[in-house]
């Protein structure tokens, strides 16, 4: 098979995906019209042309502005359903998606609306007959540019929904502007989430230093690191990540678009893999970064000349690194 068909044929899990980052310009415009939200762009093309980022913050500004068109349960449902259609096309069999309630509650949207719309699409996908099956989890993420008090308030608002969504909501994450917002800022709220029995993850080592990866592990006690590519700057950390098989959810096209690397051919994904780390490939915010899962796999396969064995290894890592029960993992591996 040619490389494209080979990649299409590999079953995969996606572990680093912000659902708000799947909002394509076409749907964004349609929702703006339906909800009478004014956009500073005249056309879909004009909006897409604005997706030229210089760093994480330049992306976040647009990403949060775009999310303002999401108002109703139906809006969250349609956005999530559109993402699931991409999963089916890309042979993604399991997803663990991030959502950022604070982006919505700040605008007066009820947190229950956010949960309901996303969960309806995920449950529908799970229950629809399909030759392989499709499973999903939700990871509620705190915005790190806001205070820990704000994160606690979000947790309090969400906890009454836990029973209703216990099949889906299994984890807590940390995202948004990394520099100047170290993991330890959220030590108390993560400790509380750990007591509550949630799986924990955090973005670290995307733009921030290796020290943030270390504090995400030691202070927040996360089970996975989102991005983590800057870990390579610290040899002791690399040894630890390899020994403990701590997964990194790497997002190649995101790293390129946000100028974490200036050329995919220089991306350290292959080196991290060869160093024995549990590296996975993910799309992060596909509507903004120019590609879904298979686009990410294909881009690195070509730029880094990955072998088919390495591509298989990356997909196996994605199931290994998931929060699926052991039995389910074995079935999917
Ligand atoms: N990093 C930090 N925050 C984010 C990202 C990211 O890659 N995507 C969406 N929010
Ligand atoms: Zn991310």
Query: What confidence tens digit (pLDDT) does each residue in 153-169 have?
Result: 999 999 999 999 999 99
Q: What is the mean pLDDT of residues 52-58?
A: 96
pLDDT bucket at 301, cuts 50 / 70 / 90? very high
- The 10s digit of each residue's pLDDT in 19-53 is 999 999 999 999 999 999 999 999 999 999 999 99
Dihedral-angle region of residue 53 (phi above 0 means left; psi in -120 to 50 means alpha; beta otherwise): beta
From the CA of 229, how far away is ligand 1's center (Å)?
A: 14
d(CA 90, CA 85): 9
Q: Inform me whether the pLDDT recorded for 149 exceeds 90.
A: yes
Residue 159 counted as domain residue:
yes
Inside any domain, residue 44: no
Cα–Cα distance, 301 to 226 (Å, whole number): 21
Q: Is the CB of 183 under 6 A from ligand 1?
A: no
pLDDT band at 92 (very low <50, low <70, confident <90, very high): very high
> Is residue 165 a contact partner of residue 159, using CB atoms and an 8 Å limit?
no
Flag whether 27 is in a domain. Answer: no
User: Is residue 131 over pLDDT 80?
Assistant: no
pLDDT value of residue 235: 98
Q: Quote the tokens at residue 214.
A: 């270390």
Report yes or no on 40 lying in a domain. Answer: no
Inter-residue contact 115 to 77 (CB < 8 Å): no
SS3 (DSSP) at 331 = helix
315 falls within a domain = yes
Ligand 1: residue whose CA is nearest its atom 4: 176
pLDDT at 130: 76
Distance separating alpha carbons of residues 269 and 295, to the nearest angstrom = 15
- Looking at the annotation, which residues are catalytic? 206
Which residue range(s) make up the domain with 7?
A: 3-22+76-332
Alpha-carbon distances, residue 163 vs 64, 173, 178 (angstroms): 29, 19, 31
Is 128 a domain residue? yes
Tokens 């592990």 found at: 217
Q: Is there a domain that residue 192 lies in?
A: yes
From 101, 206, 282, 296, mutation site for ligand 1 pocket: most ligand atoms within 8 A of C-beta: 206
Give distance in angstroms: CA of 99 to centre of ligand 1.
11
250: CATH: 3.20.20.140
Q: For ligand 1, atom 2, which residue shows the shortest CA distance?
A: 176
> What digits encode the pLDDT tens for the residues 167-223?
999 999 999 999 999 999 999 999 999 999 999 999 999 999 999 999 999 999 999
In the chain, % of residues over pLDDT 70: 100
DSSP states of 206-227 as a string?
SSS-HHHHHHHHHTS--SEEEE
**Total domains, the chain:** 1
pLDDT reported for residue 331: 84
pLDDT at 332: 83
Position 271 pLDDT exceeds 90: yes
Average pLDDT over residues 285-301: 98
Residues 264, 157: Cα–Cα separation, whole Å: 41
Mean pLDDT of the chain: 97
176 lines ligand 1 (CB under 6 A): yes
Ligand closest to Cα of 253 equals 1
């Amino acid at each position: 098979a040619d490389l494209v068909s080979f990649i299409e044929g590999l079953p995969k899990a996606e572990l680093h995906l912000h659902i708000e980052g799947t909002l394509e310009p076409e749907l964004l415009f349609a929702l703006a019209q339906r909800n009478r939200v004014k956009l500073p762009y005249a056309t879909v093309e004009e909006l897409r042309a604005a997706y030229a980022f210089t760093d994480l913050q330049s992306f976040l500004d647009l990403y949060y502005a775009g999310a303002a068109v999401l108002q109703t349960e139906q809006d969250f449902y349609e956005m999530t359903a559109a993402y699931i259609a991409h999963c089916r096309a890309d042979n993604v069999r399991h997803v663990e998606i991030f959502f950022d309630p604070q982006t919505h509650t700040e605008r007066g949207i009820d947190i229950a609306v956010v949960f309901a719309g996303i969960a309806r699409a995920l449950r529908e996908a799970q229950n629809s007959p399909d030759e392989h099956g499709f499973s999903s989890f939700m990871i509620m993420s705190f915005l790190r540019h806001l205070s820990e008090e704000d994160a606690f308030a979000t947790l309090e608002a969400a906890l009454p929904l836990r029973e209703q969504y216990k099949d889906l909501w299994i984890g807590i994450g940390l995202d948004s502007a990394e520099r100047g917002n170290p993991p330890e800022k959220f030590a108390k709220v993560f400790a509380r989430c750990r007591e509550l029995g949630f799986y924990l993850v955090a973005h670290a080592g995307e733009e921030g230093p290796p020290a943030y990866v270390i504090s995400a592990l030691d202070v927040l006690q996360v089970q996975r690191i989102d991005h983590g590519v800057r870990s390579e700057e610290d040899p002791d950390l690399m040894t630890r990540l390899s020994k403990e098989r701590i997964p990194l959810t790497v997002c190649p096209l995101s790293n390129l678009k946000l100028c974490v690397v200036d050329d995919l051919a220089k991306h350290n994904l292959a080196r991290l893999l060869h160093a024995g780390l549990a590296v996975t490939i993910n799309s992060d915010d596909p509507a903004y970064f120019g590609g879904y899962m298979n686009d990410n796999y294909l881009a690195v396969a070509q730029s880094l000349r990955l072998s088919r064995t390495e591509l298989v290894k990356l997909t196996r890592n994605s199931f290994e690194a998931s929060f699926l029960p052991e039995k389910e993992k074995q079935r999917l591996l």
